[in-house]
Amino acid sequence: MRSLISWLFLVPWMVQAQEVPADPEPFEEKKLEWNGNLDAKYTAFHMDRGSALYKLQFVDAAASSAYLSQYRIEPYLNADYQTKDLGFHLKTHATYFSEDEASVDLFEAYGSYNPSFNSTLQAGKRVYNWGKGYAFNPVGYVNPVKDPENPELAQAGLLSASFEYVKSFSSPHLQTFSLHLVVVPPPPDLLNRYAEVQYTGFAVKGYVLLWDTDVDIIGFYRKDDRKQLGFDLSRNLRENIEIHAELSYSQGSSMYSITNGGLQEVRRDQYSSLAGFRYLHESNTTIIAEYYYNGGGMNPAEFETYVGFLTNAANSGNGVVAQQALGVSQRYFRGSTLMRDYLYVKLAIPEPFDWLYFTPSLYSIYNLNDRSFLVSASLSYKPITNVEFILWPTILTGTETSEFGGKMVRQRIEAWLRVYF
């Protein structure tokens, strides 16, 4: 750890000693920008009252119909202050259901300093977007957990400090090189304020644009936690065809399953991978397809045992047992990809039939292990610059013991009004 910390502080000095500074472009001395949006979202749900997850989630609630609704507002407020060398960036989000149910989240709040034209120091809470995948990122070790149903959804960042160095070359083979080092403090577990220094995490990403191919080598290390090493690449085969891939290796990763009616944790090495492409037609129609292998997921037999565990708890009539099973599900099996093999496909067609300002898209996530899937369509209409209407229906299908078929929602339809400022 000591050698890694020393290297972190030596890199800026080495860069400044060897690099001939380029003349920066003219920069406005001070600039403050505010922006954001307000989302009003109404959702109608068709619930599956026979699913184990529904029975566990609503165990203490009064009997309700299979059709529920939800209305909420979500304001987003962003601020950016930038001078020639210094910057401050803020992103906030709030969710309001009622006077008794509201929350405020700090997505990003970090400062940046440019010691040279090619280097940047940052500290605070920020969002990283490592990896080349659209719906999944096996190598996104410091990324927020992505929701494949809405990969572009803004999410909370990570408390960290980082140094990034970027250099361009005139070589026809190597065009760009960058090095990104991130220090991740451990989450506080003593009085919710203090943590052990020895559990500090370190992440590194080396990037090259080599022969017109984007390549990243990514690593993450933390004592008594999994050690991870990843690789990704992206390349345009033609102007309208892009391919990308990711490969991740995790040493001693925790894998959870249900054995003999109880939770079992096994630590083992695992691999996860992703392969995909993006195609842009001359009509601006975009197709994205990705295959994702989740090395930490359950096989069909393990998932069936997990569903049986939830079903037994839901039908036990014991509130304590039901609450314990729900807690296990929400803590250890809360991901959106609990099994191993998934296929993601998305089709977006801007302004079809010359319908101005209207962009429909259709996507599906298919579980190759149990053949369950969801299908969803996002219908966006933006008649003026600062107003957008979105209609978002979703259907989930599969057997009762499958991943998508066993969820507590069968169908849902969302209506959004989004106002930008």
Strands (E), 117-226: 119-126, 158-168, 174-184, 201-210, 213-222
Q: What is the pLDDT of residue 63?
A: 62
In angstroms, the CA 230 to CA 398 distance is 33
pLDDT at 90: 97
Helix (H, G, I), strand (E, B), or coil: what is residue 57? Answer: helix
Q: What is the pLDDT of residue 7?
A: 35
> What's the pLDDT at 5?
35
Please identify which residue in the block is written with the tokens 């440019």.
114
Task: Express each pLDDT in 180-234 by its tens digit.
Answer: 999 999 988 888 889 999 899 999 999 999 999 999 999 999 987 779 999 999 9
Q: Which residue, among 180, 174, 97, has the nearest Cα to 131 in the 3D structure?
A: 180
Rounded Cα distance between 252 and 266, Å, is: 9
The pLDDT score that the predictor gives to residue 348 is 96
d(CA 324, CA 333): 13
Q: What is the spatial distance between Cα 345 and Cα 375, in angstroms, rounded to a whole number?
A: 10
In the chain, which stretches have pLDDT less than 50?
1-24, 27
Domain segments of the chain as ranges: 2-420
DSSP state of 25: P
Per-residue pLDDT at 336: 85
Helices (H), ranges, 19-65: 52-57
Domain 2-420 has CATH 3.40.30.10: no
